[in-house]
Amino acid sequence: MRSVPLGVLIVDDEAPARSILREHLAKVPGVRVLGECANGLEALRAAGELSPDVVFLDIEMPRLSGFEVLELLDPRIAAVFVTAYDEWAVKAFEVHAVDYVLKPFEPARIAAAVERARERLASRAPRDAAALAAAARPAGTWLERVVVRDGARVHIIPVDKLFAARAQDDYVELSSEGKTFLKAQTLASLAAALDPSRFVRVHRSHLVRVDAIARLETYAKGSYVAILTDGSRVPVSREGHARLKTLLG
């Protein structure tokens, strides 16, 4: 049985790194390199146009990191991370069974990564990009910005400007400076990535930044509503109220 050629996209901000990866990939049977991108924004655009099966993703890149690209990438595309040296990231890859190759590249390692990506595509195993990114952060550090894709545009929301988030089925609706953004992520996964001393799950389907709360009003017996500094209102459950109280002492 002949396998279908695998379309590969290379994403790395260093030209020499891209060229050597292309050279190694060219020698792997059944692989077709569809293109090279020098940054994450280019990669998202190219992934839309070229529909690759696999992307080889560098981690440290301008504007968007490799982890952020993965969050915004079509989940049907398999990813192989590329890194020179990053203890935390490598640990995260091991834990989340994400493929990676180390620089300097070893041709056999790249061929093996391609093979595993092929298997992964066949098994359609789901992935949680946000959890992977969280695992790759050093202990005690938290998400500093949230990236959201809105058609062809990518919005970068610093957590200081994130007021609240609301669960909407498999999406979260993020509100920041009077605007709302939809992101394919669960509220629980977002909450786990944010600094728990700054963001509180005040309700099963609501998360707020504590210092964005202007005041709390009683809504009914045992339930409250938080009025945020931007004027919006967020329901607060009995449990959420208890969590707020523990945090604020």
CB of 165 to other proteins, least distance (A): 18
Spatial separation of the C-alpha atoms in residues 13 and 2, rounded to whole Å: 34
Among positions 7, 13, 205, 232, the unique one binding other proteins when judged by CB under 8 A: 13
Spatial separation of the C-alpha atoms in residues 59 and 83, rounded to whole Å: 6
**Please, are residues 243 and 200 in contact by the beta-carbon 8 Å criterion?**
yes
Query: Interacting stretch for other proteins, rule CB under 8 A, among 3-11, 59-67, 114-122, 172-180?
Result: 59-67
Q: Does 145 bind other proteins (CB under 8 A)?
A: yes
| Residue whose CB is less far from other proteins, 20 or 216 | 20
Q: Does 138 bind other proteins (CB under 8 A)?
A: yes
Query: Interacting stretch for other proteins, rule CB under 8 A, among 10-18, 172-180, 220-228, 234-242?
Result: 10-18
Among positions 4, 19, 97, 217, the unique one binding other proteins when judged by CB under 8 A: 19
Q: Does 151 bind other proteins (CB under 8 A)?
A: no
Among positions 1, 2, 3, 16, the unique one binding other proteins when judged by CB under 8 A: 16
Query: Interacting stretch for other proteins, rule CB under 8 A, among 8-16, 43-51, 108-116, 176-184?
Result: 8-16
| Residue whose CB is less far from other proteins, 113 or 202 | 113
Determine the 3-state secondary structure of 122 from DSSP: helix
Write the secondary structure of 33-72 as one string of H (helix), E (strand) and C (coil). EEEEECCHHHHHHHHHHHCCCEEEEECCCCCCCHHHHHHH
Determine the 3-state secondary structure of 169 from DSSP: coil
Q: Does 27 bind other proteins (CB under 8 A)?
A: no
> Can you list the pairs that 94-98 forms with residues at least 24 positions away whose Cβ atoms lie under 8 Å?
95/135, 96/127, 96/128, 96/131, 96/132, 96/135, 98/127, 98/132
Spatial separation of the C-alpha atoms in residues 107 and 204, rounded to whole Å: 48
- Pick out residues in 67-126 that bind other proteins (CB under 8 A): 84-86, 102-105
Spatial separation of the C-alpha atoms in residues 167 and 152, rounded to whole Å: 23
Q: Does 60 bind other proteins (CB under 8 A)?
A: yes
Query: Computed from CA positions of residues 26, 29, 35, 36, in that sequence, does the dihedral angle turn out positive or negative?
Result: negative
Q: Does 177 bind other proteins (CB under 8 A)?
A: no
Adjacent-strand bridge partners of 23 = none
Q: Does 211 bind other proteins (CB under 8 A)?
A: no
Q: Is 182 left (phi over 0), alpha (psi -120 to 50) or beta?
A: beta
CB of 207 to other proteins, least distance (A): 20
Residue numbers at the binding site for other proteins (CB under 8 A): 13-17, 19-20, 23, 38-39, 41, 60, 62-63, 84-86, 102-105, 138, 141, 144-145, 156, 158
